C-alpha cells in the first residue's frame, strides 16, 4: 500500500528545508486520501468533496509558504528536492506509476490554484489510474485538454523504445507459390483438429442465471465505505509523523459522525474498535499518537456527538439496540454523563436496562464520572442506578 516515506530524523535546524519537506508530505498524504475517496465514491459524494477540500487546503498551505511545488517522476517514486518522498511498487493504481506510465517527467503545482482545477485533476487521476484493455484517451492528453493553468507537467519527447525493424530477404518468384502452400497447409490441419462447439453448452441454466443476477445485485448494492475505512485505518498504522496522522483522524471523525447520523452502526462500531487496535499498537511504537486517539474517544463520548441516538431510540429494533450497546461499551467512561441524561429521557424499559448496564460497565473502568453524577440532585437517576 502507498506510504509516504518514513525518513530518518532530519537535521534539526530552523532552516526552510525541514518545514518545506513536512508540508510536502502533508500535501501528499491528503492527495492519497483524496485519490482513495475518488476511487470508492461518485465524484459528487460528500466524502470526495471533503477530501478534495482537505487536499486543496494542504496544497495552499505549502504554496503560500514555499512557492511552487514540483515533483520529479520515476516509475516507483516521487522525488522532491532530490530525495524520494513517496515510494510505491510500479503497479497500476499507484500514483508514481500512473504518472510515469504516460511519460510525465515532472509535475508542478503553482500558487493561485483554484478548487475547480483540483477537482478536475483528481477526476483525471481517478479515470486513468488503471490501464484498461481498450483505453479511451490517456492521462497526458486529458491533462492537456483540461487546460489547468496552475498544474504544469513535462512529458518526455520520445516515450517508449521503437521496435527494431526486422529485415528478411524476399523469396524468389518461383518459390512464392511453394511458400504460400506451406503456410496454408498447417491452417487446414489445425482447423480440422478443432472440435466444433455446441452453442447449447454455453447457455446458462435458470439456476445459474439467477445466481449471476444475485451476484450483480450484491455488487451494485455493495457499500464502498468498508474498503475506504480499511484503507484509512491501514494508513494510520503506516504513518509515523503527527502531521500526517492528524488529517486521517479528522477524516475518520467525520465518517464517525456521519455513520451515527445515518444509523449505520456497523460502520460506527468498526471505527471505534479499529481505533482501539491502533491505540494498542501505538503504546509501544508511537506514543505521541495516544493523546490524539484519546481525544477522538472523548469527542465521541460527548453529548453533542451522541445526540442523534436519542432521535433514533423509538425506532430501534432488538438487533439495533444490541449493536448500540456494543458501541457504547467501547466509549470512554466520560460518556457516563451523557448516558445518564439519556437514561432519564428514555421511556423504554428495554433501553433503560441497556443504558444502565453500559453505565455500570464503564464505571468499572473509572468510577469517578459515576461518582460525580451521583452527587447531583437528580433523585430519579440515582434510583435507577443504585
Show Cβ contacts of residue 168 under 8 Å, excluding neighbours closer than 6 positions: none
80: pLDDT strictly greater than 90: yes
Across the chain, mean pLDDT equals 77
Q: What is the pLDDT of residue 222?
A: 55
Q: What is the pLDDT of residue 47?
A: 80
Least confident segment among 122-126, 244-248, 302-306? 244-248
189: pLDDT strictly greater than 80: no
266: pLDDT strictly greater than 60: yes
Q: What is the pLDDT of residue 83?
A: 92
> End-to-end alpha-carbon separation of the chain, Å?
51
Cell of 372: 460525580
Q: What angle do CA 95, 275, 50 make, to 5 degrees?
A: 50
pTM over 0.85? The answer is: no
Least confident segment among 70-74, 166-170, 226-230, 364-368? 166-170
168: pLDDT strictly greater than 80: no
CA separation for the pair 340, 375 (Å, rounded): 12
Least confident segment among 50-59, 185-194, 220-229, 277-286? 185-194
| Residues 297-314 as b or e (16 or more Cβ within 10 Å = b) | beebbeeebbeebeeebe
Supply the DSSP symbol for 93: T
Closest Cα partner for 225 from 65, 45, 362, 353?
A: 45
Q: What is the mean pLDDT of residues 66-84?
A: 93
112: pLDDT strictly greater than 70: yes
Closest Cα partner for 33 from 9, 8, 58?
A: 58
Contact 56, 94 (CB under 8 A): no
Q: What is the mean pLDDT of residues 261-283?
A: 87
Q: What is the pLDDT of residue 131?
A: 74
Q: What is the mean pLDDT of residues 142-163?
A: 78
Pairing of strands 3-4, 69-74: unpaired
Residue 238 or residue 304, greater confidence: 304
Show Cβ contacts of residue 86 under 8 Å, excluding neighbours closer than 6 positions: 2, 3, 4, 5, 28, 77, 78, 95, 96
Q: What is the pLDDT of residue 51?
A: 86
91: pLDDT strictly greater than 80: yes
**CA torsion through residues 96, 99, 103, 104, sign:** negative
CA separation for the pair 96, 79 (Å, rounded): 10
Cell of 298: 472523548
Amino acid at each position: 500500500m502507498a506510504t509516504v516515506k518514513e525518513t530518518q530524523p532530519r537535521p534539526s535546524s530552523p532552516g526552510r528545508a525541514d518545514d518545506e519537506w513536512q508540508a510536502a508530505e502533508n500535501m501528499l498524504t491528503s492527495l492519497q486520501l483524496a485519490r482513495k475517496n475518488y476511487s470508492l465514491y461518485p465524484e459528487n459524494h460528500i466524502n470526495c468533496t471533503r477530501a478534495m477540500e482537505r487536499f486543496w487546503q494542504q496544497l495552499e498551505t505549502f504554496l503560500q509558504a514555499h512557492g511552487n511545488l514540483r515533483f520529479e517522476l520515476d516509475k516507483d517514486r516521487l522525488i522532491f528536492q532530490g530525495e524520494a518522498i513517496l515510494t510505491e511498487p510500479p503497479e497500476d493504481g499507484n500514483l508514481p506509476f500512473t504518472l510515469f506510465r504516460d511519460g510525465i517527467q515532472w509535475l508542478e503545482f503553482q500558487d493561485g490554484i483554484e478548487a475547480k482545477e483540483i477537482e478536475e485533476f483528481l477526476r483525471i487521476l481517478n479515470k486513468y489510474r488503471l490501464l484498461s484493455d481498450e483505453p479511451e484517451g490517456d492521462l497526458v492528453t486529458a491533462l492537456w485538454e483540461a487546460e489547468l493553468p496552475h498544474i504544469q507537467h513535462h512529458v518526455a519527447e520520445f516515450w517508449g523504445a521503437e521496435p527494431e525493424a526486422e529485415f528478411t530477404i524476399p523469396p524468389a518468384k518461383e518459390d512464392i507459390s511453394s511458400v504460400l502452400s506451406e503456410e496454408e497447409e498447417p491452417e487446414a490441419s489445425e482447423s480440422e483438429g478443432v472440435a466444433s462447439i455446441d452453442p447449447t453448452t454455453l447457455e446458462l441454466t435458470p439456476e445459474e442465471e439467477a445466481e449471476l443476477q444475485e451476484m450483480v445485485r450484491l455488487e451494485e448494492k455493495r457499500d464502498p465505505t468498508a474498503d475506504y475505512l480499511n484503507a484509512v485505518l491501514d494508513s494510520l498504522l503506516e504513518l509515523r509523523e503527527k502531521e500526517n496522522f492528524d488529517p486521517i483522524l479528522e477524516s475518520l471523525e467525520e465518517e464517525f459522525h456521519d455513520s451515527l447520523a445515518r444509523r449505520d452502526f456497523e460502520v460506527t462500531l468498526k471505527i471505534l474498535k479499529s481505533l482501539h487496535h491502533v491505540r494498542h499498537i501505538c503504546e509501544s511504537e508511537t506514543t505521541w499518537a495516544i493523546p490524539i486517539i484519546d481525544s477522538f474517544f472523548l469527542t465521541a463520548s460527548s453529548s453533542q456527538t451522541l445526540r442523534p441516538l436519542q432521535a433514533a431510540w423509538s425506532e430501534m429494533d432488538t438487533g439495533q439496540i444490541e449493536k448500540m450497546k456494543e458501541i457504547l461499551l467501547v466509549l470512554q467512561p466520560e460518556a457516563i454523563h451523557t448516558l445518564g441524561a439519556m437514561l432519564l429521557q428514555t421511556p423504554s424499559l428495554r433501553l433503560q436496562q441497556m443504558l444502565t448496564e453500559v453505565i455500570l460497565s464503564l464505571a468499572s473502568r473509572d468510577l469517578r464520572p459515576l461518582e460525580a453524577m451521583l452527587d447531583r440532585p437528580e433523585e430519579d437517576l440515582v434510583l435507577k442506578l443504585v
